[in-house]
Structure 1
Amino acid sequence: MSSASSERTALLPNGDRRHFSESDNNFLQRTSLLFKTEGQPSHLASWKFFLFGSWINVLLVFVPLSIIAHNLDLDAALRFSFSFFAIVPLASLLGTATDEMSIKLGQTLAGLLNASFGNAVEIIVGIAALMQDQLVIVQNSLLGSVLSNILLVLGCSFLAAGFKFPESNFQVTAAQASSSLMTLACITLVIPAAYYSTKSSGNAFMDPHTNAITNMDPERLSGLLIISRGTAILLLVVYVAYLYFQLKSHAYLFTADDEGQEEETPNMNIVSAAAALLIVTVITAFCADYLVASIEEFADRYHIPKPFIGLILLPIVGNAAEHVTSIWMALKGQMELTIGICVGSSIQIAAFVIPLLVIIGWISNHELTLFFANFETIAFFASVFLVNTLIQDGKSNYMEGLMLITLYLVIALAFWVS
C-alpha cells in the first residue's frame, strides 16, 4: 500500500490543506470526543439558557446586593435577607448545571455527579457554619433539609397529585429500600443520644442555643466523638453500596416507565455546563459564608430562635428548586421521580452529607458529632416513621400529603417557640 493511501487531506478553516496520517487522524478523533460540540448547543446558546432559562434567575440581583451589604456592614436583617435570597437562584443554577452534565455522562457518572452536587448548597452552608463553630446551624440545617424533603416537599407533591389523580402508584420495592436506609440513618442518630443520656455525668447538659455539651466528663465526650466518627465512616460505606444498588445491581427498580417519553436533549454543551458548575459553586460559597456570618446578630436582634432559622428557613433556600421539580413531576403522574427526588435527596443528606461534615470537622478539629438534642431526635424519628408508614403500600393520595404537611407545620411551630 502506498504512503498516499495511508494519509488523508483535511481542508482547514483558512483554506489551507494539511495531510494527516492514519495515526494522527485516530488521535484527533479520540481527542475530539472530549471536547466535541457537534450536535450540542453553542457556548452562547448554552449560557443564554443557563442565565435566562428560568424566571427564578431574576433573584440573581441579590448576589451583588449580598456582597455590598456584607462589605458595608449593613443591618443584620439586610445582610441575612440578601444572602438568603441570593442562594435561592444559585441553588437552582447548581441543579441546572448538574442535570445538563448528567445528560452527556451516562447513568453511572450522572449518578455520582448528582450524589456529589445534588446537595451542594447544604454542603457549602454546612462547611461555612462548621468553620465558624456554628454547630447548631450545621446540625439543624442538615436535619431541616431531611425533614423538608420527606415531609414538606413529599407532602406537597402527594397533595398536588391528589387533586389531579384519585390515587398515584409508584414502585414499592424501590421506595421501601430507600426508606429503610433512611430508617438506618435515623437509628444512627438515636444511638449517640441514648449514649449521652445514659453515660453523661449528672452536671452535664446541652445548651439549647448552641448545642454545645457543657460540663460533660471528657472521657464521655471522647466516647461520643468516637461513636460519631466511626458511625460516619460506616454510613459513607453504606451510601456507596446504596449507589451501586441504585445505579447497577438493582437499577431497574429505580427506573421510571419511559414509554411515550422523548429522549432528553441537552440545552448546554458539557464544557459550558462544567464551567457554570464551577463558577456558581464558588459564588455560592461566598454567599453562604455571608449568610452564616449574619445569623447570630439577626437572631439576637430580631428575637428569632436560631434552631428555627437552621431547621426551617435555611432548608427552604437549598431545596427551593427541588420543591418545584418534585411537585411538577407529581402533577405529570411520574411518582417514581417524585419519590426519588424527595427520599433520595434526604438519603444523600442523612447518609452522605452529615457523615461527610462530621469527618471534615474531625480533620479540622471541630467537635461535630451525630448527637442531636432529644427533641430533634424524636422529631426526626417520628417523621421517618410516618413516611415509612405512608409509602409502604406503593400508593399515595391527597390525604397522605396533608398528613405529611401537618406534621411538618407542627414541628416548625415547636421550633419557633423553642
Structure 2
Amino acid sequence: MKVDSDGTMEEMDDDFEVEMATLVSSSPASMKTHITGIWGIGSMVDLSSSCSLNRIVRRLLKSIGIVIFQPKINLLLPFGPLAIIFHYLVRKHGFVFFFSLIGIIPLAERLGYLTEQLAFYTGPTVGGLLNATFGNATEMIISLYALQNGMIRVVQQSLLGSILSNMLLVLGCAFFSGGIVHYNKNQVFNKAAAVVNSGLLLMAVMGLMFPTVLHYTHSEVQYGKSEVSLSRFSSCVMLVAYAGYLFFQLRSHHKLYNPINEEEGNNEDDSDEEEVPEITQREAIAWLAVLTVWVSILSGYLVDAIQGASESLNLPVAFISVVLLPIVGNAAEHASAIMFAMKNKLDITLGVAIGSSTQISMFVIPFCVVVGWMMGKDMDLNFQLFETATLFITVLVVAFMLQEGTVNYFKGLMLILCYLIVAASFYVHVDPSANDG
C-alpha cells in the first residue's frame, strides 16, 4: 500500500508487489543489478546519444582544424571577404581584383588537397582525374562568369594561359624541384602515357588552328559565321575525343597509366612512411562542395573587376588573363606537382600538370563553346594568331622535353625560362579584339 498526497490509501499494483517481493528475497547483489537494469535503461540511451553527438562534434572540429586552420596559406582567406567589402563600399576595382585574386589562392590549394584525400578512397587513376577536374574548377567557374558577361576574349585568354602555365611553369617548377632533390640521377616516368597526352594536346592545337587560319586567310564561305560554325562542330568532336580518352584511361588501357617499376633503391625512402587519409570520404566531398561555392562567389567579383583593374593597374587585359588569372587558378596543381616530383613520383606529377592541360584543351574549352552556343554567345575557337602560335610552339617544346622518358633540373629550368618569355610577350602584346569584352 502507499499513501497518496491527500492522505488517502491506494492499493499498489499486484505486478509491482510481486516484483518487489522477488527483489527482497534475492541477494543484495542481484537486487542491485536488477534495479539498475530497470531504472537505468533510459539513462543508458541518453548517454549513448550524448556520446554519439560528442563524437560528431569532435570529428567536425577536427575536420575544420585540418582543412581550415592547419595550412599556413589559409592566412590569405580573409582577403576574400575583404574583396566583397571593397566592392560595395569603396568600389576600387584594383583592390577588388587584387583581394579576390589573393583570396582564391588558398581555396585553389585546398581544392587540390581535398582531391588528394579523396584519391585515397578512389584509387590513383580516378584520383588523378579528380585532381585535374577540381584543380580546373577555378578556371571553369571564372570562364563561365566571363562568358555570361560577354567577355569572350577573357575566356579564351584565361583558358589559354592556364594551358601555358600548366605545361611550362607548373611542370618546369616540378622538374626543377625534383631534380634538385634527386640531384645525382635522372628521374624517370611512364613514357607511353605522356605520348598519349601529347597527342591529345596536338589534336587540341589543330582544333584551335583551323578556325584561326580560316579567319586570317579570309577564305570563309560566310565571313564571321563560318569560323563560329566550324568551332562548334570541332568542339563537339573534341568532346567526343575526350570521352573516348576517359574510357581509354579508366577502363580499356588503365594498366598503361600505372607507375613504372623504379629501382628498389629509389623506393626505399617512400616505403618508410605510408600515407593515410586525414579526413573521411564524406568530409572530403562536403568540403569540396563548400569551397567550390565560395570560389564561384569570389570569381564573380574577380571577373567584374578585370577591366577596371586593367585601367587602374596599367596592365593589359591580355596579361591579366593569360598570366595572373592562371597562376592563381593553378595553385593546386602547382603545389601538388612539386610535392610529388620531390617524392620522385613523376607519373603523378605528369598526370596533374599535363593531365590538367589536356582536360582544359579537350574538355573545358569545347565545353565553353557549347555553353556559349546555348547562351547565344559567339564563343569560338579563333584564339587569334599570336595566341595560337604560342600554344603550338609550347606543345612542341614540351613534347620534345618528354620524348626521352627522363627529366632533370635543367629541363625544368628551361621550361621556367620559356614561361618567362611567354609572360613578357603577353605584357607587350596588344590584343586586336580588345573591344570584344
Above 0.5 in TM-score?
yes
TM-score norm. by structure 1 comes to 0.83
Secondary structure in 2 matching 1:248: helix
Report the AA paired with residue 80 of structure 1. Answer: F
Aligned to 1:328: 339
CA distance in 2, matches of 1:295, 1:374: 23
CA distance in 1, matches of 2:427, 2:318: 8
Secondary structure in 1 matching 2:248: helix
Deviation at 1:44, TM superposition (A): 2.5
Percentage identity across aligned positions?
40
Aligned to 2:421: 410
Aligned to 1:385: 396
Deviation at 1:256, TM superposition (A): 2.2
Q: Trace 1:19-418 onto structure 2 (pairs within 5 A).
A: 42-106=59-123, 110=127, 113-114=130-131, 116-163=133-180, 164-165=182-183, 166-199=185-218, 219-256=222-259, 261=271, 264-418=275-429
CA distance in 1, matches of 2:125, 2:350: 20
C-alpha spacing 1:277/1:170, structure 2 compared with 1 (3 Å): same
Runs of 5+ in structure 1 lacking a partner? 1-10, 17-37, 202-216
Runs of 5+ in structure 2 lacking a partner? 1-39, 46-54, 262-266, 430-437
Aligned length: 370
Determine if contact 1:327/1:338 at 8 Å carries over to the other structure: yes
Determine if contact 1:192/1:228 at 8 Å carries over to the other structure: yes
Secondary structure in 1 matching 2:150: coil
TM-score norm. by structure 2 comes to 0.79
Runs of 4 or more, structure 1, over 3 Å off, are 11-16, 105-116, 257-264
C-alpha spacing 1:114/1:396, structure 2 compared with 1 (3 Å): closer
Max Rg structure: 2
C-alpha spacing 1:414/1:63, structure 2 compared with 1 (3 Å): same
Q: Which region of structure 1 is more displaced relative to structure 2, 267-276 or 231-240?
A: 267-276
Once the two structures are superposed, residues 2-57 of structure 1 have per-residue CA deviations (whole angstroms, 9 ceiling, x without a partner) of xxxxxxxxx999646xxxxxxxxxxxxxxxxxxxxx9xx93332222111232111
CA distance in 1, matches of 2:41, 2:153: 61
C-alpha spacing 1:256/1:108, structure 2 compared with 1 (3 Å): closer
Report the AA paired with residue 233 of structure 1. Answer: C
Deviation at 1:200, TM superposition (A): 5.6
Once the two structures are superposed, residues 105-140 of structure 1 have per-residue CA deviations (whole angstroms, 9 ceiling, x without a partner) of 456764664454231001111011111111111111
Determine if contact 2:208/2:381 at 8 Å carries over to the other structure: yes
Q: Which region of structure 1 is more displaced relative to structure 2, 48-57 or 342-351?
A: 48-57
Determine if contact 1:111/1:247 at 8 Å carries over to the other structure: no
Secondary structure in 1 matching 2:404: coil
Deviation at 1:300, TM superposition (A): 1.7
CA distance in 2, matches of 1:241, 1:111: 17
